[in-house]
């Protein structure tokens, strides 16, 4: 786990592994900042804006602390990049949210590509990290959840998916092989916002689909199509991994022909 930083209000609730005085310090810090801010600004509106700005700055600072402890060894102390890791200037909050939020970062080991694994940070910590990286240079934002809630055009999503995504991820989103030991992962069971972020940031070997290429609505349609595929039951029965003719062929040779040969042996068995 990362460095334990102190300040936001929300993080106070998860006090399990903190110093007993952490909550007190947190409340104190909160009171001082809000009180101080109130004292400084008489207008309520200005006070709120400044308040947000300060909270944001705290988030960034917290993110910076987490970053220094967990990411800087590869990405550098200013996220400028080293021989081991790329520069994170301009990758945006979306990239951090995707890479850290799916457990790909911090990377377990240098390999052909970062693997998905259990997520290492809490949502708040990821938010802080994302805020820090986003503060370095402008980049894609974490999408608003409301984008995935409206009416989506499934047919459009499906068509765009087949044209833009299926060559690596397979028409059924089951994933596929790339060169040099890399692969396009399965898209089943991936959170909507992570799919969206992957499209805008192009993680690992994936190309970037920017908003001119696929509009945010198009991307939301693709996400909706994938969610439809994931949630709707397989129409024709058990899908055999949705891998196409290979698993079908394997099935008929092992189970189909296996069953039939079993019956031939049974029929031809002589009753002694």
Partner 1 sequence: MTTTTTPAAASTTVTEKPVGKGMRFTNAAANYIDERTSISGLVKELGRKIFPDHWSFMLGEVAMYSFVVILLSGTFLTFFFDPSMSHVTYNGSYAPLKGIEMSAAMASTLDISFDIRGGLLMRQVHHWAALLFIASIGLHMLRVFFTGAFRKPREINWVIGFVLFILAMAEGFTGYSLPDDLLSGNGLRIIDGMLKGFPVVGTWISYLLFGGEFPGLVVIPRLFVLHIMLLPAILIAALGVHLLLMIINKHTQFAGPGRTNDNVVGVPVMPVFAAKAGGFFFVVFGILVLIASLFQINPVWNYGPYDPSPVSAGTQPDWYIGFADGALRLVPPGWEFVLWGWTFSLNILVPVAVLGLFIVMVAIYPFIEAWITGDKREHHIAERPRNAPTRTAIGAAGVTFYGVMWAAASSDLMATHFRLSIEGVIHTLQALLIVGPIVAYFITKRVCLALQKKDREIALHGYESGRIVRLPGGEYVEVHQPLSEYERWRLVSYEDYKPLMLRPNDKGKITVGMRLRASMSRWFFEDRVSPATKGELEQGGHH
- The contact set with partner 1 (CB under 8 A) reads 112, 154-155, 157-159, 162-163, 166-172, 174-181, 183-184, 225, 228-229, 234-240, 242-246, 248-253, 255-257, 259-261, 263-265, 267-270
Nearer residue to partner 1 within complex by CB, 88 or 160: 160
Antiparallel, parallel or unpaired: β 176-177 and 183-184? antiparallel
3-state secondary structure 192-229: HHHHHHHHHHCCCCCCCCCCCCCCHHHHHHHHHHHHHH
DSSP notation for 35-49: HHHHHH--SHHHHHH
Q: Smaller CB distance to partner 1: residue 24 or 260? A: 260
Size (the chain), residues: 272
The least distance separating partner 1 from the CB of residue 44, rounded to whole angstroms, comes to 49
Instruction: Output the smallest distance, CB 116 to partner 1, in A.
Output: 13
CB 120 to partner 1: min, Å:
22
- Closest CA relative to residue 119, chosen from 194, 51, 181: 194
204 Rama class: left (phi>0) / alpha (psi -120 to 50) / beta: left
CB of 81 to partner 1, least distance (A): 26
In the complex with partner 1, which residue's Cβ is closer, 128 or 226?
226
Residue placing its CB nearer to partner 1 in the complex, 58 or 174: 174
């Amino acid at each position: 786990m990362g460095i334990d930083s102190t300040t936001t209000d929300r993080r106070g609730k998860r006090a399990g592994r903190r110093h007993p005085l952490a909550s007190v310090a947190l409340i104190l810090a909160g009171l001082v900042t809000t009180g101080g801010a109130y004292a400084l600004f008489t207008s309520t509106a200005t006070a709120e804006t400044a308040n947000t700005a300060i909270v944001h700055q705290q988030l960034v600072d917290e993110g910076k602390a987490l970053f220094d402890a967990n990411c800087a060894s590869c990405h550098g102390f200013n996220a400028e990049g080293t021989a081991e890791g790329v520069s994170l200037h301009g990758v945006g909050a979306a990239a951090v949210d995707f890479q850290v939020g799916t457990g790909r970062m911090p990377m377990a080991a240098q390999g052909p590509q970062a693997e998905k694994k259990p997520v290492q940070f809490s949502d708040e910590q990821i938010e802080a990290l994302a805020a820090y990286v986003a503060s370095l240079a402008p980049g894609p934002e974490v999408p608003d959840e409301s984008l995935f809630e409206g009416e989506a055009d499934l047919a459009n999503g499906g068509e765009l998916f087949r044209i833009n995504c299926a060559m690596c991820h397979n028409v059924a989103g089951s994933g596929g092989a790339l060169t040099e030991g890399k692969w396009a992962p399965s898209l089943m069971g991936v959170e909507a916002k992570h799919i969206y972020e992957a499209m805008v940031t192009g993680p690992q070997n994936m190309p970037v689909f920017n908003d001119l290429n696929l509009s945010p609505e198009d991307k939301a349609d693709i996400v909706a199509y994938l969610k439809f595929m994931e949630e709707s039951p397989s129409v024709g029965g058990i899908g055999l991994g949705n891998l196409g003719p290979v698993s079908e062929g394997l099935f008929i040779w092992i189970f189909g022909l296996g069953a039939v040969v079993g019956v031939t042996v049974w029929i031809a068995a002589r009753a002694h």
